[in-house]
Amino acid sequence: MAPFYKYGFFGDEMSLILAFVLGTGFGFFLERAGFGSARKLAAQFYLYDMSVFKVMFTAIVTAMLGVTYLGWLGWLDLSLVYLVPTHLVPQIVGGLVLGVGFVVGGYCPGTSVASLATGRIDGFVYAFGIGAGTLVYAEVYPWIKGFVNSNGMGQVTLPEVFDLPWGLVVFAVVLIAVAGFSAATLVERRFGDEA
């Protein structure tokens, strides 16, 4: 939807309709790709099916290139793109907690909802756990608020952190993606035979 909502091309009601349509489409394609199955996602951690890695890296690189080229063409004002403020240590801890949950449950939040929508019991349990965890987090937030807001770096990007040109960082990420895809394919060949 962005940046059309921000520019006033449509109002709140239409944004909710578009969010529903986009979310439904996203869930449909997640399920069609097999990501509504914990077995498919767990295969990632057993190294015999790296589809999740490949799809996520493709999405990241596609979005990065799209935003970069639209910015260079002057069609997208990058200063209007919202960046979540960086709180390095709390976000690393949160990432580790999410990662452990991903490994243990076999789902991430999005795939658990896709699984729930197709009637899988494990998807329901996982989505219920996300809801319960969210409520627990809200209850304990006053006690951990200091930690959550520590190590604030503001809204930063990799080019700013490493003091490198934007284009160089984009090129480096693309090279990392190509190398990652090659490595993932080799890993699949190595461990796929054992599965």
**Per-residue pLDDT tens for 103-125?**
888 888 888 888 998 899 999 99
76 and 3 in a single domain? The answer is: no
64 and 10 in a single domain? The answer is: no
176 close to 183: Cβ distance less than 8 angstroms? no
Distance CA 195, CA 173 (A): 31
17 and 72 in a single domain? The answer is: no
Distances, alpha carbon 73 to alpha carbons 9, 61, 63, 80, 162, in Å? 21, 18, 15, 15, 24
105 and 156 in a single domain? The answer is: yes
Range(s) of the domain holding residue 12: 1-32
Quote the pTM value: 0.76
Please tell me the total count of domains within the chain: 2
> Going by C-beta distance under 8 Å and a sequence separation of 6 or more, which residues neighbour residue 190?
47
pLDDT at residue 141 above 90?
yes
73 and 12 in a single domain? The answer is: no
Distances, alpha carbon 121 to alpha carbons 27, 39, 178, 195, in Å? 17, 13, 37, 25
87 close to 20: Cβ distance less than 8 angstroms? no
